[in-house]
Amino acid sequence: MSPINITTSAAANRAAATSNADPLASGATAFKVDSPHVRYGDGAIESDYLYDTTIVSRDYETGQLKAKPTKVHYQFRTKTSVGRVGLMLVGWGGNNGSTVTAAILANKQGISWETRKGTQEPNYFGSVMMASTVKLGVDENLRDVYVPFNEVVPMAHPNDIVIGGWDINSLNIGEAMRRAQVLPVDLQRRVYDELKQLKPLPSVYYPDFIAANQEERANNVMGGTKQEQLEQLRKNIRDFKQTNGLDRVIVMWTANTERYADIIAGVNDTADNLLQAIAGGHAEVSPSTLFAVASILEGAPFVNGSPQNTLVPGAIELAERERSFVGGDDFKSGQTKIKSVLAEFLVNAGIKPLAITSYNHLGNNDGRNLSAPAQFRSKEISKSSVVDDMVGSNNLLYKKGEHPDHTIVIKYVPSVGDSKRAMDEYVSEIFMGGLNTISIYNTCEDSLLASPLIIDLFMVTELMTRVSYRVRTDVDAAEPQWQPFHSVLSILSYMLKAPVVAPNTPVVNALAKQRMAMENIMRAFVGLPPNNEMLLEHKAFH
C-alpha cells in the first residue's frame, strides 16, 4: 500500500509565510490529537506522557543483568504563539551567512531564476524541518500517514525570520554574496538590490584565534577592552530586538573556525571565573566565547556552528545559572553526516571498521582559514569523535580501549571554490578475518549544505524556548513547577558534528538515533507515543 502524505496547499503556505498575522497563533498544525491526555488550551498545548525506559542492574555475585521496565510521568506545555523572532549571525558576511540570507529572501518573495535547464524555483531542500516528513500513524486501511516535520508542533517559518548580525569585514550582504560565489549569477542579480542595504555590525577580532591570512578582511572590528566589547555585544542584541519589535532573538556563530581555547583553572572553568577573566581581559577568552556570554546574559539562545570549544565549562555553567539555552558544535553538513550513517550501519551489521581515512579539499574562505594548523586541529577534533559512541556500543567487536584508526586531512585548493571534494575509505574486518573496503567520493557545495542547517538549528532552538515540562509522581506533595529543558540543547545533535551535551549526559553521534530522538521528543510534546517500526498491525492476526 502506498503511504499518505498530509500537507497544506502551496498557496496556503505562501499566504501564511507572507502574512503579518502569526499563522500558528492558534496552535494550528496539520493534525489534532484526539486523546484525554492532550489539552489544547488558550495559547498552549499540554500533554501527559508516560516515558518508558529500562533500568539495568547487575548481580555482582552471579554477573547476571536484571532489566526492569519503568515509566516516568512527564507533562509538557508548548506555547503555540511563535511571535516575531530574529536571528543574529556572527560572520554574517561569510559564505553561509550571505547564502542563507539570500535564500530566505528568495523563498519569502517567491523569486525564481534562470538556469541552463530552465526556471528554478526557490526551496528549502536540505532542511530536515522544511523538506522532510515524519510518520504520524496509520489510517483505517493500515496505510502509513506522513506529515511535514515542521507541522508536528507549531514552529517558526524561516520566511518570517528577521536576520542581522556581525562580521569582521565591512562588505554589505549583497557584495558578500557576490564574493562568496555560491549562488547562481541570475539569482544574485535578482536579490542584490535588497541585500546591499544590509550591513553587518562591527565584530570581535582577536588575531591569535584565527588564521593570519584573515587579517586583510578585518576592517570592521570593535575596539575597547573585552569587558567593553561584551557590553557592546549585549547592547547590539537588545537594540536588534527592540528595533525590529522581536519577541526572541537567537544568536548563531557561523564565522571562522578558531583555535581551541585552553581550559585553565581560575579562568574559564566556572561561570564566575569566566566573567572575571573577561573583566580582566584574559588572553584565553575567545571571540566566540565572548559572543556566547553576551547571548546568555541577554537571554538569547546561542548556537556554535564551528568546531572550536566555544562553550567552555564556565560558559555552560553560566547558561545553567541564567536559564539560557546553548548548543554546538560545528555544522554537520556532508562528509561527517555520511560517516555517522555508514559507521552505524557497519557496527550494527556486526562488521568491524578498522580504519577510516578522510580527505577533503576546498577553496572557500573556510578552507583558507583551516590551512593554519591550530584552526585545522579544531576541525580535526570535531570530525574525529563522530564514531565514538557507535564503537563503544559493541564490545563484541571492540575490546576495551580499542578504536578504529581515524585519519583526517583538509587541504586548501582555491580553484574548487565552495564545491568541496571529500574522499573517504573505510576498511573493515569481516567474517573469518576477511577485509572489506568501501571508498566514497563526495562532491558537495559546502554552503548549500550548511545553510539549511542554520535554518533547522534556528527552528528547533526557537521551539525549545516555548516548551516547559514537569515530572509527576504518585506522591506529589504539591503541584510541581513548570521548568524549561536543560540549558544545553542536545536535541540539536542531528545538525552538529560534535554535539555538546549536559554534564553526565551521553553523546550520541549516530544519525538515525539523533533524528529519532528529535522526532519522538516533538511527538511527546503533543502526547503521541514514539514511532517504531514493529508494524504489529500488519504482523498480528486481527
Mean pLDDT of 291-302: 98
Residues 66, 64: Cα–Cα separation, whole Å: 7
Quick one: which of 500, 484, 129, 494 has its CA closest to 304?
Answer: 500
Mean pLDDT of 205-234: 94
Quick one: which of 287, 331, 294, 333 has its CA closest to 310?
Answer: 287
pLDDT for residue 403 is more than 50: yes
- pLDDT of res. 152: 95
Query: How is the beta sheet containing 85-90 ordered, strand by strand?
Result: 201-202, 162-167, 85-90, 248-253, 302-304, 326-328
- Structural domains of the chain in order of their starting residue, each with its CATH number: 335-445 (3.30.360.10)
- Residues forming a β-bridge with 328: 304
Residues 101, 161: Cα–Cα separation, whole Å: 10
- pLDDT of res. 174: 98
User: How far from each other are the two terminal CA atoms of the chain, in whole angstroms?
Assistant: 18
Quick one: which of 436, 406, 235 has its CA closest to 335?
Answer: 406
Q: Quickly tell me which residue has 550520541 as its cell.
A: 508
pTM score > 0.85 for this model? yes
Residues annotated as part of the active site:
330, 379, 420, 497
- pLDDT of res. 474: 80
Mean pLDDT of 347-365: 88
What tens digit of pLDDT does each residue of 126-173 get?
A: 999 999 999 999 988 889 999 999 999 999 999 999 999 999 999 999
Mean pLDDT of 260-282: 96
Query: How is the beta sheet containing 144-148 ordered, strand by strand?
Result: 4-5, 144-148, 133-138
pLDDT for residue 60 is more than 90: no
- pLDDT of res. 27: 43
Residues 163, 175: Cα–Cα separation, whole Å: 16
Q: Quickly tell me which residue has 496509520 as its cell.
A: 138
Query: Cβ neighbours of residue 121 under 8 Å, at least 6 residues apart?
Result: 110, 112
Amino acid identity at 1:
M
Residues 70, 327: Cα–Cα separation, whole Å: 30
